Structure 1
Amino acid sequence: MSWFPILVLAALAVIVLLLVVLLMRGQGSRHSELAELERRVGEWRERAERDSERLERTLRNEVADAARVGRDEAGEQLLRFQQALSTQLTQVATLQNAQIDTFAQQLAKLTESNAQQLDQVRHALLTQSQQAREEQGAALRRFGDGLQQQLGQLSESNERRLGEVRATLEQKLKDIEANNAAKLDEMRRTVDEKLHATLEQRLGESFRLVSDRLDQVHRGLGEMQALAQGVGDLKRVLTNVKTRGTWGEVQLDMLLEQMLTPDQYARNVETVPNSGARVEFAIRLPGREAGNAGGGTVWLPIDAKFPKEQHERLVEAQERGDVDGVTAAGRELEVAVRREAQRIAEKYLAPPATTDFAILFLPTEGLYAEVLRRPGLTDLLQRQCRVTVAGPTTLTALLNSLQMGFRTLALEKRSSEVWEVLGAVKTEFGKFGDVLARTRDTLERAARNIEQAEVRSRAMARKLRHVEALPADAAERLLGPAELEAGESEREG
C-alpha cells in the first residue's frame, strides 16, 4: 500500500505551509513562532511515529520495503526541510540583526540630533537672557538718568520759584515800607499844615483883636473906661466858681482841639456805666479786649479845675512876706487839690472801661507850679487817688505823646497786613512742602519697584544660569517674530 508515504508527505506539506505562514508574519514575533513551530513539528513527529508504529504493527509485513523507501525519502525530505529551515532562520536572523542595527543607528542619530537641539536651545536661552539683562540694565540706566535729570529740573524749578517768592516778598515789603513812609510824610505834612493854619488863624485873630482894641484905645479915653469896665467884668467872672470852671473847660477844649482829631476824644462822657456822672473831656484809647465798654474803647478822663481863691491868698501872702499866711494858704490849696482829685477818682475812674488814672488839668502855669512846689503832693495824688496833675504845657506834651501812640497803632495796623501776607505765603509754602513730600514718596515707590524688578531679574538669571540660550533664528522659530517684537517693545517701554 502506498497511501502512507502520501500521508506523510501531506503532513510535511502542511508543516511547510505553516512555516511559510509563520515566516511571513511580523519580525517582532519570529522567535516565538519558530519555537512554536518546532514544538508543533515535534508533536507531528511524535504523532507520525505513533501512527507509523501502529501502521507498522498492522502492516509490518506489507510495507517493510515501502517503509524503508519512505523513510529514506522522508529522511531526505526532512534533511532538505531542515536545510531550508536553517537557511530561512539564518536569513531571518540576518534580517533581524540588520533591522536592529538600523534602529540602533537611527536611535543614535536621534539622540545626537536631540543633544544638538538641546545645545542650541540652551545657547539661545543664554543669549536671550544676556540680551534681556543688558536691555534691562540699559533701561534702568536710562530711567536713572531721566530720574536724576527730573530731580535736577525739579530742584532748579524749586530754587527759581523760591527766588521769585523771595523777590516778590522783598518787593512787597519795599512797596509797603515806601507806602508807609509816604503816608507818614503825608500825615506829617497834613498835621504841620493844620497846625500852621490853626496857629496862623489864631495868631491872626489875636493880632486883629489886639489891633481892634488898640484902635479903640487910640480913639479916646472913653474907650479906656469901657476897657476898665471889661476888666472889672473879667475879674467878677474869675471870682465866680462856675464861670472859672467854664473858662478852664474852654482852655482845655482849645488844647484838645489843637492836638487831637475829633474822633480821638469826646465831651461829657459817662465813663462809669450807669453812674450818671459825666466827665468834661475824655480821650478815646483803643482797648485790647472786645468786652470793654464802648465796643473796645478805653477812656482817659480829663477834668479842669481852678482853685482861684486859695491861689490868690497864697500869692498875696507871698507878696506881703507873711510866712504864716503862705503856710496856711499853701495848706488850703493842697487840701482843695486833694479834694478835687479824690472826687475825680471816685466819679470818673472804673477800669477796665477807663484807664487806671485820670488827669487833673490846671489852666494856669502859675497854679500848676504852686502845686508842684508842694512836697510829695503829686506823688500822693498819683498813689492814692490815681490822678495826675497837668498844666497847659505838660498837657500839651502828654497829648503829643498820645498822638505819637496813635500813629504807632496805625503803623501796627498796617504792619498786620504785612504779617497776613507773610502768613499767606507761609501757608502756600507749606502746601509746596506737601507737594514735594508727595513727589518724594512717589519717587521712593518707583525706586522700590525698580529694586523689586532687579531682585526678580536676578532670581530669573539664577534660574537660567545653567540653561544655554538659543540662537536668534531658533528663538524666532520657537516663539515667533510677533512675540519677540512685543517683548522687546515692552522692555523698551
Structure 2
Amino acid sequence: MNDIVLILGAHALTWGHLVAGMAASSLLLLTLVTVLLLRTRREKAVEAAVAEERAREMDDKVAELTRIQAEMTGRMRTMAEVFGSRQSDFVRVISERIDGLQHRVGQGLEASTRHQSENLSKLNERLAVIDVAQQNLSNLTGELVGLKDILSNKQSRGAYGQGRMEAIIRDGLPASAFAFQATLSNRTRPDCLVRLPGDARGLVIDAKFPLEGFTSFRDAKGEEARVRAAAKVRSDMLVHVKDIAEKYLIPGETQDIAMLFVPAESIYADLAEHFDDVIQKAHRARVVIVSPSLLTLAIQVMQALVRDARIREEARVIQVEVQKLLEDVGRLDNRVAKLDAHFRQAQEDVAQIRVSTEKITRRGERIETLEFEDDDATARAELLRLNGRDLRIVE
C-alpha cells in the first residue's frame, strides 16, 4: 500500500493515496448525484405546482369563456330579434330610397336629354351660321378676284377709285356742297369739286391714281428691278401731280390746294414709307395726297364747316323770327293793357250796378213790410229823385 506508484515533481504517490483519492472522488460524485436528484425532485414539484396553477387558470378561463359565450348567445338572440323587427323598416326605407333615386335619375336623364337637344339645335344654328360665313367668304373671294381684275385694268381702276371717293363724299356732305365732273373755266373736268361755305372757290379732288408703277415695285424680285420700279413710281406720280397743279389750280376759281385720292390704305402706306420725297414735292406743288381715311377726316372737317355755316344761317333766321315775335308780344301787351282798362271800367260799372241793386232791394223790402216815411212830401221827393227829377222843379 506504501509502494510508490507515481512521482509528481517532489511528491510521490502511493497506492494508499490513490485509493483515498478514489474514495474521495466517489464520495464527491455521490454527493453531486444526491444534490442533482434533490434538485430534480424540487423542479418536478415546482413544475407540478405550475401545471396545477395553469390547470386552475385554464378552468377559470374556460368558465369565463363559457360565461362570455352565453352572454354572446343572448346578445346575438337579442340582435336577431332587433334585426327581425327592423327588417321591414329597413326594406321600406331602401324601397323609398330606390324610388327616389330612380325619380332623380329619370329627371337627370330627361334634363340631360333636353340639354343635349338644345345643344344640338344650337350646334345646327352655328353650323348654319358657319355655312353662311363660308358662303360670304366664297362671295368675298369672288369679289376680291373681281377687284383684282378691276385694278389690273386702268379704266376700271379709275372707275373704282372714282366710286369709292364719291361714296365717301356722299356719306359726309350734303348734295349742295359738292359736284362730280364739274366743268371749270379752262374746260377741264375734275373728278369732284367741293364748295366750302363762305367761299366761292371750289376744292378739287382727283381720283385718277397711277397704280402700274406700284404694282411693279411690289412684284420686283431683285434690287435692280426694285430701283427701276421705284423710279417709274416717282416719274408717274410727279407727272400726275404736275398735271393736277396745272389743270385744277385756277386762281380765283379753285382753292389754293388740290387733293389726290389714293384708293387703298396699303398703297398710301407704301407711298409714305418709300416715297416721302414724292409727298414733299406734291406738297410744294400744293397737291395733298390723301388715303380713304384721310379723305374721310377731311370730309368730316368740311362737314363741320358746312354745319357751322348752316347753324349761323339758321341763327340769323331765328334772330329775325325772335324780333318779329318780340314785336308781336309788344302788340299783345298793348292790347292786353287796353283789355285790362276795359275790364277795370266794366268792374267799376258792375260795382255801381251792385250799389243800385242793393238800394232797390232795400226799398223793396221796406215796401214789402209797409214801412213808409212819416211825411208824404218826403216820400214824394224821394220818388221824384229816383225818377231823376228835382222836387223844386216840379213844384
TM-score (norm 2): 0.43
Greater RCO (CA < 8 Å, at least 6 residues apart): 1
Using structure 1 for the length normalisation, give the TM-score.
0.35
Which protein has the bigger helix share? 1
